[in-house]
Chain A
């Protein structure tokens, strides 16, 4: 919808720009064209006058150059042609153009008339000249005839000069013939020329008058008048259009100002929404990141509310929110007093940050401030709906980039310490994290590339026969290095990848069980594996066959167990198929005999820490004896782990433990080195 509006606005904008551009271009062309037309019409008028002048000149002067008239006519015709094919004139000034076409037709007639006139002008001129010049050569009969002839000549002169044939009316050619009856060469020529003059003069006069009064100029004026009228209307139209355009631009400008003003308000609001936490009204992480860039040497204290999740869980999120607001207020007040240059942020759910410039504040001051605030907050009792709450907090301080991450590490580290509430990030902490990341990457790759392999440690009976093997997990790196899975366990569990390892071990175990029918295996399962649906399905699909099941023991870590009921169900179901169970590391933590009993396990594997010093530590021996006693009464077999010397073996055997496992008896080995596998085949 928004982009649609933008498109519309853009389209309108473009249309307006195109409109202005087109209007500008049109007006420009209009004025160029119309002034050109105006110029040409006026030029035609001028040339018409010139032509008339030349015609008059030709009629009055004896010597004359007709080329001038011919040139005039040609020039006018070329101008007419030019205007006639002017599309703008034709289309835009229709009325004027019609007048102009009338003019054109009139002029073509006038052209004919002009050359007609020249045809009559010639004999009139020549005979007139001859009549004037012949007087000395004429032969007269009498004085009277001489007088009469002179009278005729003067009449001819008057008629020609006045261009008025009234002067010629009295002349009677027959009488003139009588007056000239003497056959003289000049007399004959005189008669002939007079006759021609009389014959041609009236036509000459009519043509001249017609041409000079020909209505061409009238049509031209009409065209001009019509042209100017149209132009005047056009100008008014342009004026109106310009006015409209100005109004439009004005309104666009005003609405732009209004829109920009509104937009600014919205941006302010949006910036506030984006950069401030709505609950506590503190600046948020985005704002923090922006502000961070502006400080040359920044430092950060991160405050975290201890077990905030519990507050939310026990008292509801409303109380949780109030706690956050309360802390935010107190923190702002506190910081304003203590570190006026620092700024308070809400960086996460229950994380508050104080950002400052290290130039204004040393590390000691930071630690002190953090401690004081925590002390202050912990001394206060938060009251809400009759609920009393004591809030405890931890703080992490970081002075090196990346600030937020480092401070976070510092907080997490300090959480493990009960006494200290403020942690400072040091580089070693960072190394620990780096190590973790490296391990995480290694194990991920190992799973991906199938570098997980099983090792087998034999478990012996009292006669030192191999009773079964415990399957242990190793990671085999490409260069042949074999590592224990132990350092990776924490990461595997945190990243919820543990079941991948179990899956590998289970499939290897299955393979071994099928390959060596006389071998029994003891396989470690964590409580996570028992919960995992895939692992569960895998076991129920492949391990329940009689031939396999009877040779399988699952070891479950005693300290791991949190959900006994679930585990009980799991054990009960598998025991139906003759699968046996062992409780691993029994006696390491708070061993719950009753619960172990309920599980109906087959073996108790006594924790190595109790076994390894059993030859020196009476206390350990006592505990082991108790466990063995308990096991015997409960019909469970016992396994001693960590049997690393002859002494230990002897004592454990003496106490009555059933099976033994340890370096003294047999180290964990890869499949190919397990001689027993092959020996008994």
Chain B
């Protein structure tokens, strides 16, 4: 029961339905499931940016922008306790539906989505084979996408190899960074498989007032005063390749993000060499590309 390491490596395999995921993969890259037919899931969750995009704010249908929220990575999202910054979706299916129907994202309705996919003979055939139904329901679409997202995992980062026993996988500086990461208390929030994603925490515990825009925080869900500025702890997996940082994406530099988090949530001004070490450690968190993206099927 006693687990000395608060962080667990990403498993190399997760169970998922390959047939459903195949459909989900096509849907994930299909802009036709957005209202203006120009935005796909992959528009904001691009594989080359760790399942996120490199913009501060993602661009939805008709150029709409959901200020001030930065899109979180779709990679490893399956390990999150909740989805979205404020955890308003309980699972991947809900996330897919909410994103699909969000005014700023794809702005669809169940009815419109069903109309679009049912008009496509390829989808009709694929869904018929897997879901044994002549009519594709919106729930089937979300289910297929969720199944695909289950497969979006990035195992075998150097750090995971280290956790799995390969002590040479990290260099001395990175190892020191990991120790500092634990010693400063970063790990208190950034733990588990995803190094985050499993609790809600307040940004800027050490500040009475913070001058950042709140955006869609936990308060939007619970309407409790104390939930203002409370967000789902973001995952640090692939952190080096998923700039910009913070919920509003206003920090482009990872080192600056480390310094800021020290200030905001630890109440400490982290010394520069310690920041460097933690930064070095973060470089070891980039995993392999999800296998499902490599294969045609």
Residues of A bordering B, CB below 8 Å = 57, 62-70, 73-74, 112, 115, 118-119, 121-123, 125-127, 129-130, 133, 185, 189, 192-193, 196, 200
By a CB distance below 8 angstroms, the chain A residues around B1 are: 57
Residue among B189, B200, B269 with max Cβ neighbours from chain A (10 Å):
B189
Contact between A122 and B6, CB atoms less than 8 A apart: no
Contact A193-B191, Cβ < 8 Å, known A66-B199, A118-B200? no
C-alpha gap A57/B191 in the complex (Å): 14
Asked if B192 lies at the interface with its beta carbon under 8 angstroms from chain A, I say yes
Apart from the given pairs A66-B199, A119-B200, A123-B265, 13 other A-B contacts in the complex at a CB distance below 8 Å:
A62-B188, A64-B188, A67-B79, A67-B194, A68-B192, A119-B199, A123-B205, A125-B185, A126-B265, A126-B266, A192-B267, A193-B267, A196-B205
Contact of B192 among A66, A125, A127 (CB under 8 A): A66
Asked if B120 lies at the interface with its beta carbon under 8 angstroms from chain A, I say no
6 interchain residue pairs of minimum CB distance: A67-B192, A126-B185, A66-B198, A70-B81, A192-B267, A63-B6
Contact between A65 and B3, CB atoms less than 8 A apart: yes
Q: 29 A-B contacts, Cβ less than 8 Å apart?
A: A63-B3, A63-B5, A63-B187, A65-B3, A65-B191, A66-B81, A66-B191, A66-B199, A67-B194, A67-B198, A68-B192, A69-B198, A70-B81, A70-B192, A70-B199, A118-B199, A119-B202, A123-B205, A123-B265, A125-B185, A125-B188, A126-B185, A126-B188, A126-B265, A126-B266, A130-B268, A189-B269, A192-B206, A196-B206
Q: Which of B177-224 contact A (CB under 8 A)?
A: 182-183, 185, 187-189, 191-194, 198-202, 205-206, 222
C-alpha gap A486/B198 in the complex (Å): 124
C-alpha gap A557/B267 in the complex (Å): 154
> B1-32 vs A: 1/0 string, CB under 8 Å?
10111111000000000000000000000000
Contact between B267 and A189, CB atoms less than 8 A apart: yes
By a CB distance below 8 angstroms, the chain A residues around B79 are: 67
Asked if B285 lies at the interface with its beta carbon under 8 angstroms from chain A, I say no
Size category, B interface: 20 to 34
C-alpha gap A65/B193 in the complex (Å): 8
Minimum C-beta distance from B228 to chain A (A): 12
By a CB distance below 8 angstroms, the chain A residues around B187 are: 63
Minimum C-beta distance from A136 to chain B (A): 14
C-alpha gap A205/B199 in the complex (Å): 18
Residue among A57, A118, A185, A200 with max Cβ neighbours from chain B (10 Å):
A118
Contact between B198 and A70, CB atoms less than 8 A apart: yes
By a CB distance below 8 angstroms, the chain A residues around B191 are: 63-67
Asked if B230 lies at the interface with its beta carbon under 8 angstroms from chain A, I say yes
Contact of A127 among B6, B8, B182, B267 (CB under 8 A): B267
In this complex, what residue of A is CB-closest to B230?
A: A119
By a CB distance below 8 angstroms, the chain A residues around B206 are: 192, 196
C-alpha gap A57/B6 in the complex (Å): 12
By a CB distance below 8 angstroms, the chain B residues around A123 are: 205, 265
C-alpha gap A22/B269 in the complex (Å): 75
Contact between A67 and B193, CB atoms less than 8 A apart: yes
Contact A130-B199, Cβ < 8 Å, known A65-B191, A196-B206? no
Contact between A65 and B199, CB atoms less than 8 A apart: no
In this complex, what residue of A is CB-closest to B199?
A: A118
C-alpha gap A196/B268 in the complex (Å): 12
By a CB distance below 8 angstroms, the chain B residues around A126 are: 185, 188, 265-266
By a CB distance below 8 angstroms, the chain A residues around B202 are: 119
> B252-274 vs A: 1/0 string, CB under 8 Å?
00000000000001111100000
Contact between A129 and B199, CB atoms less than 8 A apart: no
Contact between B185 and A129, CB atoms less than 8 A apart: yes
Contact between B199 and A115, CB atoms less than 8 A apart: yes
Contact between B200 and A130, CB atoms less than 8 A apart: no
Residue among A57, A112, A126, A192 with max Cβ neighbours from chain B (10 Å):
A126
C-alpha gap A203/B3 in the complex (Å): 27
C-alpha gap A123/B183 in the complex (Å): 14
Q: Which of B76-101 contact A (CB under 8 A)?
A: 79, 81
C-alpha gap A189/B191 in the complex (Å): 24
C-alpha gap A652/B183 in the complex (Å): 168
Minimum C-beta distance from A6 to chain B (A): 49
By a CB distance below 8 angstroms, the chain A residues around B199 are: 66, 70, 115, 118-119, 122
C-alpha gap A69/B3 in the complex (Å): 13
By a CB distance below 8 angstroms, the chain A residues around B192 are: 65-68, 70
By a CB distance below 8 angstroms, the chain B residues around A67 are: 8, 79, 81, 191-194, 198
Contact between A63 and B4, CB atoms less than 8 A apart: yes
By a CB distance below 8 angstroms, the chain A residues around B267 are: 127, 130, 189, 192-193, 196
C-alpha gap A74/B197 in the complex (Å): 14
Minimum C-beta distance from A27 to chain B (A): 35
By a CB distance below 8 angstroms, the chain B residues around A63 are: 3-6, 182, 187, 191
By a CB distance below 8 angstroms, the chain B residues around A62 are: 188
Contact between A122 and B268, CB atoms less than 8 A apart: no
By a CB distance below 8 angstroms, the chain A residues around B183 are: 129, 133
By a CB distance below 8 angstroms, the chain A residues around B193 are: 67
By a CB distance below 8 angstroms, the chain B residues around A125 are: 185, 188
By a CB distance below 8 angstroms, the chain B residues around A65 are: 3, 6-8, 191-192
By a CB distance below 8 angstroms, the chain B residues around A130 are: 185, 266-268
Contact between B201 and A119, CB atoms less than 8 A apart: yes
Minimum C-beta distance from B184 to chain A (A): 8
Contact A115-B185, Cβ < 8 Å, known A189-B267, A189-B269, A192-B206? no
Contact between B185 and A64, CB atoms less than 8 A apart: no
In this complex, what residue of B is CB-closest to A125?
A: B188
In this complex, what residue of A is CB-closest to B198?
A: A66
Contact of B200 among A74, A115, A193, A200 (CB under 8 A): A115
C-alpha gap A185/B269 in the complex (Å): 8
C-alpha gap A118/B188 in the complex (Å): 10
> B224-254 vs A: 1/0 string, CB under 8 Å?
0000001000000000000000000000000
In this complex, what residue of A is CB-closest to B187?
A: A63
In this complex, what residue of B is CB-closest to A192?
A: B267
Minimum C-beta distance from A588 to chain B (A): 105
C-alpha gap A115/B266 in the complex (Å): 19
Contact between A122 and B8, CB atoms less than 8 A apart: no
C-alpha gap A227/B191 in the complex (Å): 40
C-alpha gap A542/B291 in the complex (Å): 118
By a CB distance below 8 angstroms, the chain A residues around B8 are: 65, 67
